[in-house]
Amino acid sequence: MITIKKLTKVYQNGQFQVEALRSVNLTVEAKEFVSIMGPSGSGKSTMMNIIGCLDRSTSGEYYLDEVSISSLKDDALADIRNKKIGFVFQSFNLLPKLTALENVELPMVYAGIGAKERKDRAMDALKKVGLEERVYHKPNELSGGQRQRVAIARALVNEPSILLADEPTGNLDSRSGEEIMGIFQDLNQEGATIVMVTHEPEIAAYTKRIVTFRDGEIISDELVENPLSTRRNFL
């Protein structure tokens, strides 16, 4: 699903060059649930941005679903973000003036899907994360956990190849955080491929594989033998 070979990212910071990623190799297969860990400045966020097609590598190769991403233009990258990637951010990143339903419809608006189908699919996605009662609420009328569930519904609605989560529990209390991890586990169970950046080992323990970055390189890549299980079913 994801194949990364000798990927390097160099930032020009004034007269200094900062190597955020140094010749990284990484493969993620379909239906994996991977967490990317590491201290700040380790390159994990840069990795995330490149996988998410928000940023380009300086050199090296990146294939997503066998498509080479490195050479694509802005519009093609936008198209990939729209159709193949679902983002879940630490700060939710919902548009405050839109209702939950309209927020979930947004990726489909950019995909050019008609209004009727958009609404139906957004309703289904919100139902899936347990928010069917809250579809007409604006983000500021929802709790943190609920906002993150809207964001997950939005990430899923275009049926992407991969779900990218950047510290998805970072702004949540531990109970809501656990809920969100439960949702991720259920989605993974149903076949979703998930890559999640976190710096909390307790959160990474819910995933099946942990990749650790330090100074722009992968220092460990281990399977989790017994992923932590949430007590309840969330979906």
Residues of this chain that interact with another protein (CB under 8 A) are 49, 52, 54-55, 74-75, 78-79, 81-83, 87, 89, 93-95, 97, 106-107, 109-112, 154, 158
Give min distance, CB of 210 to another protein, in A. Answer: 25
Q: φ and ψ at 212, to 5 degrees? A: -110, 130
Give min distance, CB of 52 to another protein, in A. Answer: 7
The residue among 87 and 213 lying less far from another protein, judged by its C-beta, is 87
Residue located via tokens 């928010």: 131
Give min distance, CB of 177 to another protein, in A. Answer: 21
The residue among 55 and 217 lying less far from another protein, judged by its C-beta, is 55
The residue among 27 and 71 lying less far from another protein, judged by its C-beta, is 71
Three-class secondary structure of residue 155 per DSSP: helix
> In Å, what is the CA distance from 35 to each residue of 31, 81, 100, 176, 181?
13, 20, 27, 19, 12
Going across the sheet that includes 16-28, the strands are 16-28, 2-13, 59-64, 67-68
Task: Answer for the pair 47, 213: CB distance below 8 angstroms, yes or no.
Answer: yes
The residue among 42 and 49 lying less far from another protein, judged by its C-beta, is 49
Give min distance, CB of 233 to another protein, in A. Answer: 29
The residue among 74 and 225 lying less far from another protein, judged by its C-beta, is 74
> What single string gives the DSSP state of each residue in 71-116?
T--HHHHHHHHHHHEEEE-TT----TTS-HHHHHHHHHHHTT--HH
Give min distance, CB of 75 to another protein, in A. Answer: 5
